[in-house]
Amino acid sequence: MKKSIVLVLSLGLLSASLFSSCSSCSSEKKDKPREEQVAEFRSTLNHEDTTQMLKLCDDAMAQLKAGQIDKVLADLYEYNDSTKEVKPLTKATADRYRRRFRMFPVLDYNRQFFSFQLEGCNDVRYNVTFANADQTGTGQPAKTAYMFNPVKVDGTWKLCVKTQADEIDPEMR
């Protein structure tokens, strides 16, 4: 029972920090409705954009599964909506994600969905198994979700973290 309570609390904390709702996903052009902005952005994309964006995310998940946390952290960025800048993770942010990735290691994963919304706000969500049934003592594996925010800036896709200020595509919830 104690393991289950700790597991539930841990999942709640992880969900709050890794899978939350984006200032970088707020309406970029206040004079246009969000739906129109999303439609405009999506109209600029092609098959190659989807391929590149998903490869970034899938590669990061494969690296996490292989225990290459530092490699993933070196390739992750933060997006600033107000300046439209992509910057490497700060040391504090990288340390926070390093702790999370170690606490909830990727034993297995599958992509649940992806969604293009705006240049600086897109969703790629993975279901992640971080403990097998034997480890949990419950007969069921322990699972959580990891979510990335790949952004396209100056024609290049960068893999960004999803922050608490980031909005999630409401159609995918």
Amino acid (1-letter code) at residue 82? S
Of 10-14, 24-28, 162-166, the range with the lowest mean pLDDT is: 10-14
pLDDT for 154 equals: 84
* pLDDT tens by residue, 106-133: 999 999 999 998 888 899 999 999 998 8
Nearest to 21, CA basis, from 154, 158, 149, 153: 149
Q: What is the 3-state secondary structure (H, E, C) of 16-27?
A: HHHCCCCHHHCC
Q: How confident is the model at residue 134 (pLDDT cuts 50, 70, 90)?
A: confident
pLDDT at residue number 127: 96
What the block records as the tokens of 111 is 């992509």
Residues present in the chain in total: 173
Instruction: Residue 172: name the closest of 106, 108, 117 by CA.
Output: 117
CB 11 within 8 A of CB 4: no
How confident is the model at residue 131, as a pLDDT?
93
Q: Higher pLDDT residue, 28 or 98?
A: 98
Q: For the chain, what percent of residues have pLDDT higher than 70?
A: 76
> Which pLDDT value is given to residue 45?
92
What domains are defined for the chain? 2-172 (3.10.450)
First to last CA, the chain: 30
CA distances in angstroms from 160 to 51, 88, 124, 138, 144, listed in the order given? 16, 9, 11, 34, 19
Across 24-31, average pLDDT:
57
Q: Are 49 and 65 in contact (CB under 8 A)?
A: no
pLDDT 10s digits, 36-57: 999 999 999 999 999 999 999 9
Nearest to 169 by CA among 110, 112, 122, 119: 122
